[in-house]
Amino acid sequence: MNTRRDFLQKVAASALILPLPSWALSAPKYDGPVLRVALMGLGGYATRVADAMRDCKKAKLVGAISGTPDKLTNWQSKYGIPEKNCYNYQTFSNIRNNPDIDAVYITTPNSLHHSQVLQAAAAGKHVLCEKPMALNAKEGAEMVAACKKAGVKLLVGYRMHFEPKTLEVIRMRNSGEFGKILFFQGLCGFRIGDPTQWRLNRELAGGGSLMDIGIYAINGTRYMVGEEPVWVTAQETKTDKVKFKEGVDETIQFQFGFPSGAVASCLSTYSMNNLDRFFLNGEKGFAEMQPSTGYGPIKGRTNKGELTQPHATHQMVQMEEMADIILNGKQPIVPVDGEEGLKDLKIIDAIYLAVKTGKKVPLNL
Ligand code: NDP
């Protein structure tokens, strides 16, 4: 009997074409529903997502929204996007009349997420939104409410929630292999370049390193410890007041306490390169990951040995899983919905408050 695998192997064996990637040989044919996605804000991360989506079966890039006309022309030819599925920020609300787009993925600067999610929801489209979901918990709660009211799903681009080595550590913790969890350390940072970029502009970024990279330590603390924190303390350090203006944090250290008695200690910075390390310690064992949240491959080991789960492009896996969540109601192991994004925003609010007051701030997630 001729199988799809036989066919693909024969095709790959023919001398005149490029060899097929290994996933194509092992992947079963997919003829289920496909989530048709439009990307909004065609910058660095959108390009990474678009490239990764070439390998998706359940999600397909079909549309684009941009303030730069040249980019729309480019993306039409580069990704095969029809002109009728292209919009700018002024024409975007017409997307409501386009039945060929199911979801909008927002990859613009942080301060634009709130209004753009509200617009996408009002147009009746499911929304995927990059981290941080918004600038603060008030905006986040409005976004969750608007999507609920419009009957659309709101998901946040937490790609680590689908990463195999991360999920293995979570599995081991849940099955008690580390014993009672006592301590977590999350260190996240990089040395930021161009001082004119939006990430260093308070209006667009909503803050500094904490909004951009420290959020990985905040979110990581929660999925690694497996509990919600009940208090936070925080301290800010600024060595360059020209580059990091008022309201743009350079380095923040923060600490959490959990109901079980576990504690966590984290660092977020724009002034140290390659800082990407998680360490989880329990009564019976530990997990350490470095790199822990970069694009991978993620590396890590536990008291039982090296983590060996294979690497796959994070954005590809994320889009496949998010398509399953939206189309088939799949429940992810770690949530990626608006409520999850809102919890991180409540923590961000509390960290900034703790920096300002020097006090321990209670958390009620
Ligand atoms: P870029 O600056 O590379 O791209 C942002 C794009 O947004 C621009 O290219 C532009 O696209 C559009 N835009 C609209 N208004 C503005 C404005 N006023 N200033 C600047 N750009 C504007 O940023 P990134 O792609 O790195 O980041 C975008 C979002 O994705 C952020 O929220 C960030 O936190 C998140 N991100 C997430 C990552 C992850 O791993 N999950 C990694 C990197 C970023 P156009 O010209 O098409 O309008």
The finding on whether 190 has its CB within 6 A of some atom of ligand 1 is: no
The finding on whether 41 has its CB within 6 A of some atom of ligand 1 is: yes
The finding on whether 44 has its CB within 6 A of some atom of ligand 1 is: yes
What is the chain's Cα-based Rg? 21
Euclidean distance between the first and the last CA atom of the chain, given in angstroms as a whole number: 56
| Domain architecture of the chain: domains with CATH | 4-158 (3.40.50.720), 160-310+336-362 (3.30.360.10)
- Rounded to the nearest angstrom, the distance between the alpha carbon of 291 and the centre of ligand 1 is 23
Residue 165 tokens read as: 């080595």
Pocket test for ligand 1, best of 42, 45, 268 (most atoms within 8 A of CB): 45
Give the atom of ligand 1 at the shortest distance from the alpha carbon of 157: 41
**Could you list the pLDDT tens digit for every one of the 365 residues in the chain?**
444 454 445 444 443 444 455 555 566 789 999 999 999 999 999 999 999 999 999 999 999 999 999 999 999 999 999 999 999 999 999 999 999 999 999 999 999 999 999 999 999 999 999 999 999 999 999 999 999 999 999 999 999 999 999 999 999 999 999 999 999 999 999 999 999 999 999 999 999 999 999 999 999 999 999 999 999 999 999 999 999 999 999 999 999 999 999 999 999 999 999 999 999 999 999 999 999 999 999 999 999 999 999 999 999 999 999 999 999 999 999 999 999 999 999 999 999 999 999 999 999 99
Residue 59's Cβ-count burial label (10 Å; 0-12, 13-18, 19+) is buried
| CA-proximal residue: ligand 1, atom 35 (nearest) | 130
Count the Cβ atoms, other than its own, within 10 Å of residue 82. 10
Distances (CA, A) of 152 to 101, 111, 149, 334: 13, 21, 8, 20
Question: Left if phi > 0, otherwise alpha if psi is -120 to 50, otherwise beta: which for 38?
Answer: beta
The finding on whether 161 has its CB within 6 A of some atom of ligand 1 is: no
| CA-proximal residue: ligand 1, atom 38 (nearest) | 45
For tokens 């660092």, the residue is: 267
The finding on whether 73 has its CB within 6 A of some atom of ligand 1 is: no
Please answer whether residues 61 and 53 qualify as being in contact, where contact means their C-beta atoms are separated by less than 8 angstroms: yes
C-alpha 71/C-alpha 65 separation (Å) is 9
- Rounded to the nearest angstrom, the distance between the alpha carbon of 32 and the centre of ligand 1 is 31
C-alpha 245/C-alpha 143 separation (Å) is 28
Q: By C-alpha distance, which of 101, 103, 106, 110 is closest to 89?
A: 106
Beta bridge partners of 184: 264, 280
| CA-proximal residue: ligand 1, atom 42 (nearest) | 45
| pLDDT reported for residue 69 | 98
- Rounded to the nearest angstrom, the distance between the alpha carbon of 153 and the centre of ligand 1 is 22
C-alpha 365/C-alpha 273 separation (Å) is 32
Beta bridge partners of 251: 237, 269
The finding on whether 293 has its CB within 6 A of some atom of ligand 1 is: no
Q: By C-alpha distance, which of 112, 108, 121 is closest to 64?
A: 108
| pLDDT reported for residue 28 | 73
The two beta strands, 35-40 and 59-65, are: parallel
The finding on whether 109 has its CB within 6 A of some atom of ligand 1 is: yes
| pLDDT reported for residue 174 | 98
Single-letter amino acid, residue 277 = R
- Rounded to the nearest angstrom, the distance between the alpha carbon of 140 and the centre of ligand 1 is 19
Please give the positions annotated as active site.
Answer: 131, 216
